[in-house]
Chain A
């Protein structure tokens, strides 16, 4: 079956540091890939997505590139802010069904 593996957290960074959260996946076909963000006390929100190989999703300064050859979709941001503190979930969608990774908690300190 499909699966998504993320780096375990928490990831603790200082403000303006560079962020990378690793995500790799296993799928039987050609899934779409997503990053969701969950702020404290809230539900998940779609952060960005990519629907085919070599696509780059971007939003709010975050980026991720769909790498079919390495089955990866790593999340990056050049300069994090305190307001980026949240839990980030990588996910894939195939045949309409979402499969989520375990989530990575990011803590950004001023």
Chain B
């Protein structure tokens, strides 16, 4: 059982470049989330989705976009990478609104 799978694990971007962080889950979870983790800080919610076709902003959405065309996939898009987006990104999913979250292993992104 794969759970939540994120790719890539590491990436270095130049300022202004764009990229997509991939996230897929095989647990048929309705809810999916993107968090960023900055050093010494707790995880901050970027975007979340309550089901296919439905997304909403979290605490720190600026500079990011998401889509949810299928239940399984929830990609995170960075259009114009900035140094402030250097962080570790975690995707997570849950069956319901107050259910246990399952996390992917993270993507370490550096913008130079």
Contacts and interface: CB of A to CB of B under 8 A. Distances in A.
Interface string B41-76: 111110000000000000000000000000000000
Contact of A89 (B4, B43, B92, B97): B43
Interface size class of A (residues with CB under 8 A): 20 to 34
B45 A102 contact: no
Contacts of B103: 43-45
B98 interface: yes
A96 B42 contact: no
Chain A interface mostly: strand
Interface residues of B, number: 17
8 contacts: A8-B40, A42-B105, A43-B4, A43-B92, A44-B90, A44-B103, A96-B97, A99-B42
Interface of A: 4, 8, 32, 41-46, 89, 91, 93, 96-103
Contacts of A91: 42
